[in-house]
Amino acid sequence: IVDQPLVSSDFNHDPASSSFALDQTKVIDGRLVRVMSWYDNEWGFSNRMADTAAAIGGVL
């Protein structure tokens, strides 16, 4: 969870799948929530694949 203003380059090589931007997430009309998040698609995906490989390797 990110609670300060940042730009996309702040998330290069971030291992998280996604970081929610609290300052840009809003409730609209009391019913709809617009959630904004930042991510480094290739790096985050690679980290999740490494996690998956480790989990499968632990079962074998």
What are the tens digits of pLDDT across the range 2-30? 788 888 888 888 888 888 888 889 999 99
Query: What was the pLDDT predicted at 16?
Result: 86
Helix or strand holding residue 46 (H, E): helix 41-59
Region 42-46: mean pLDDT is: 90
Helix or strand holding residue 52 (H, E): helix 41-59
Mean pLDDT of all residues in the chain? 89
Are 38 and 6 contacting, i.e. CB atoms less than 8 angstroms apart?
A: yes
Is the pTM higher than 0.75? The answer reads no
- What type of residue is 9? S
User: How many percent of the chain have pLDDT more than 70?
Assistant: 100
The full set of domain ranges for the chain reads 8-51
In angstroms, the CA 19 to CA 33 distance is: 16
Task: Please choose, from the candidates 50, 30, 32, 48, the residue with its C-alpha nearest in 3D space to the C-alpha of residue 40.
Answer: 48
